Chains A and B, each alone.
Chain A
Amino acid sequence: MASVPHGAPHTTPAHGDHTHDGHDDHHHLPTGLMRYVTTTNHKDIGSMYLWFSFAMFISGGIMALLIRAELFQPGLQILEPERFNQLTTLHGIVMIFGAIMPAFVGFANWMLPLQLGAPDMAFARMNNWSFWLLPPAAILLIGSFFVPGGAAAGGWTLYPPLSIQAGMGMDMMIFAVHIMGASSIMGSINIITTILNLRTPGMTMMRLPMFAWTWLITAFLLIASMPVLAGAVTMLLTDRHFGTTFFNAAGGGDPVMFQHIFWFFGHPEVYIIALPAFGVISQIIPAFSRKPLFGYASMVYATASIAILSFIVWAHHMYTTGLPMAGQIYFMYATMLIAVPTACKIFNWLATMWRGSITLETPMLFCLGFLFLFTLGGFTGLVLALTPVDIQLQDTYYVVAHFHYVMVAGALFSAFAAVYYWSPKWTGWMYEEKLGKIHFWWSLIAFNVTFFPMHFLGLAGMPRRIPDYNMQFTEWNMVASIGAFAFGTAQIFFLVIVFRTIAGKSGIRAPAKPWDGAEGLEWTVPSPAPYHTFETPPAFK
């Protein structure tokens, strides 16, 4: 998901400068690996986030492909059921916490200082720590496959009692969640502070780039929800090892209580993934429609309303847990309410394109793919919000289809769009347009081949998180598995595109502003962006 060469800033003249440009330190700046280990530069850290995210995307992708290989036909072929469950669990956690979230933090690191006219993030050392906490968490997660009992296997939602009975892989999961949570909270504090305090003079809040707005609100969501998850997994840990009974009815607790606490975190988490994606889309669609974003203020208010509503709808994940009727009805309507600000955003994007002079470069293609498919995922979300319907569909493949439409075609596609859109700024080279387009169409088709049939499977009653299934589901599962392998291959192709871009294979050097409709301070600095930018606040019109 990244296309910044480790070495890129090395080669830029500005970096050469900065070792001897009147700094009052007499130290050598570390080079090689130590440069990345000790760096306080938002561009280095942004690149590390993006590469880490891609590595996790590949790891989670391999797990997904193992799952799909097992599900290619009924019966047990290649995986033990225990292993299968571990793979689904880790696939979910790794994709969410390892791939998608760090990708958007990577974009934030790279782009927010450039968009705001700031020299770096507000807390550059803490920024480094936020990143370097992720590899330890990844080691704990991936390493848990190799300990006695294997990795956590109760699903990424970690529900007790399964998560209480599990082996030490679950403890590794719990500590990994703690560490990733600490990383997210520090990263969010950094982002909020940067946006609130390091904007260049004249950039009032209502003139912030949309990407910054969505990240500001996302960071708030993270700070409000990650500690709750930390509390939840801490209670799991004490229930497991210290004899507390939070989630154990014998002692007056309740396993369903975990679900409430988890989803109080979990639903905002969905928007933690989606909002920065919305921000990216809100940057790119105006650029390629050559029109300013339609309804800027309403976008801001819609984002804020989504964030607030996201805290009061959590039990739509729990319709089958015996909620009282009043609760079911409340959560159903409250959930459907979120569709209003979301639709407001969709219409604003459409209105931005309306009568614009649109061109379809790869970033725009991914945005259009996002628009269609995210909206589809939103619709199936509305379907699932209906209590009586969800009681039928929960824990079926319909849910798997739904959340992959919002997470893969939503968040992941917008991450691809962001890479194509901003990589000229990172690498100094244009990517190869033709290859980018192939990547888009390949991903789009493979994605739908994989996940569209899951709607049918779910409606027909195929349960999720089960390694075997009834014969009648065979055909669509085969289709889905074939699609999944095609989708995975497309992402290897993406990696090739990234390497080729870094190597300058297109032969086209990126100008400071490669997209004629693009707006924002990030396009006022040269491409590739010098190692240090905006050391004094730039003028903002």
Chain B
Amino acid sequence: MSASTSANSGKYFVPQPSHWPIVGSVALLTLATGAVTSLNEVSWGLPVLYAGFAILIYMLFGWFGVVIKESEGRLYGKNVDASFRWSMSWFIFSEVMFFAAFFGALGYARMHSVPDLGSIDAKLLWPEFAATWPSSGPYLKEVFSPMGAWGIPAINTALLLTSGVTLTIAHHAMLENHRSKLILWLAATIILGITFLTLQVYEYVHAYSELNLKLTTGIFGSTFFMLTGFHGFHVTIGAIMLTVILFRSMRGHFDDKHHFAFEAAAWYWHFVDVVWLGLFVIVYML
């Protein structure tokens, strides 16, 4: 789909009809069908699931490709830039609320459901259960060790914080139109991100093989893996975003005035960073 500024004044941008949204819808329907069926052990489930992913990736490439082309064609004026900024801020806010649900679950479990299960009321049911944290609950009684904060998690904290700094250096380089510096520091940020993810995977392996800490290890395992897992997933997305930005920088995109995509990715990266700090304190330290 080609785009045009339509018949608008320079101020507004209204894109031409596009088939990407419907491709996205087909992708999600396929994905959902594949997920539902494979979760319920239907034999053709998995292929459908993969097909859904494939269509989704095709859509993302296509749609973002169009947007990048429009952006580089300088079809987006100041007004569009402001719209993008509003939308990215609200999107990040929605992500914050998504994490809030899981942090809420963790807080509720620690401060409410586990103490309740160990309370005098529940003694009749679970006489031996001591309400301590971490816990895998009164019935599962899995023996496990929680993940200590001062090993890999502390290193990971340092990595992510450093990546925030390197990203800011890259940002300044971009504002100074200093391209090689931009590329260098952006690449450094991505490498830090990937190192973080690698250590995270290592930590998971360690948890499963040595600590007997699993997703199925009661409420501690559930909250631990869901929170760190969704965070890791978001780091992955952020790293992919930054990689796209890196390639675009290498192709000469972005300058001191025209760089919303860079900032959006950077905001997202900082958001992921802040979530990690929350995780480090609440999940690992406390």
Contacts and interface: CB of A to CB of B under 8 A. Distances in A.
Interface of A: 18, 21-25, 27, 29-30, 35, 37-40, 118-120, 122-126, 128-129, 132-133, 135-136, 139-140, 167-168, 171-172, 175-176, 178-179, 182, 185, 188-190, 192-193, 196-198, 223-228, 230-232, 234-235, 238, 240-246, 248-254, 256-257, 260-261, 264, 532, 535-537
B247 interface: no
8 contacts: A38-B1, A133-B24, A178-B32, A193-B86, A228-B104, A235-B105, A251-B137, A253-B222
Interface in B1-34: 1-9, 11-12, 14-22, 24-26, 28-29, 32-33
B94 A185 contact: yes
Nearest to A122: B83
Given A124-B15, A227-B98, 10 more contacts: A190-B87, A227-B95, A228-B104, A246-B222, A249-B139, A252-B219, A254-B109, A254-B112, A257-B105, A257-B113
Contacts of B219: 245-246, 251-253
A28 B69 CA distance: 20
B176 interface: no
Contacts of A189: 86-87, 90-91, 94
B28 to A, nearest CB: 6
Contacts of B140: 245, 250-252
Contacts of A532: 6-7
Given A119-B14, A179-B28, A254 B108 contact: yes
Chain B interface size band reads 35 or more
Interface of B is mostly: helix
B218 interface: yes
Given A197-B86, A257-B113, A38 B22 contact: yes
Given A23-B7, A123-B83, A232-B101, A129 B215 contact: no
A132 B98 contact: no
A289 to B, nearest CB: 35
Interface string B193-223: 0000000000000000000000110111111
A40 B90 contact: no
B12 A230 contact: no
The A contact surface, by secondary structure, is: helix
Given A27-B2, A197-B79, A536-B8, A252 B113 contact: yes
B119 to A, nearest CB: 12
Contacts of A226: 94, 97
B116 interface: yes
Contacts of A178: 32
B19 A22 contact: no
Most buried by A among B26, B105, B138: B105
B93 A224 contact: yes
Contacts of A140: 29, 32-33, 36
B83 A536 contact: no
A246 B105 contact: yes
B218 A252 contact: yes
A168 B39 contact: yes
A428 B137 CA distance: 65
Contacts of B35: 171, 175
B4 A24 contact: yes
A27 B14 contact: no
Interface string B62-105: 01000000000000000100110011001101110111111011
B93 A231 contact: no
B149 interface: no
B83 A197 contact: yes
Contact of B138 (A223, A232, A250): A250
A125 B18 contact: yes
B101 A227 contact: yes
Given A38-B17, A249-B113, A251-B219, A136 B11 contact: no
Contacts of A118: 12
B226 interface: yes
Interface in B209-259: 215-216, 218-223, 225-226
B222 A238 contact: yes
A136 B25 contact: yes
B2 A228 contact: no
Contacts of A224: 93-94, 97
Greatest chain B CB density within 10 A among A193, A224, A537 is at A193
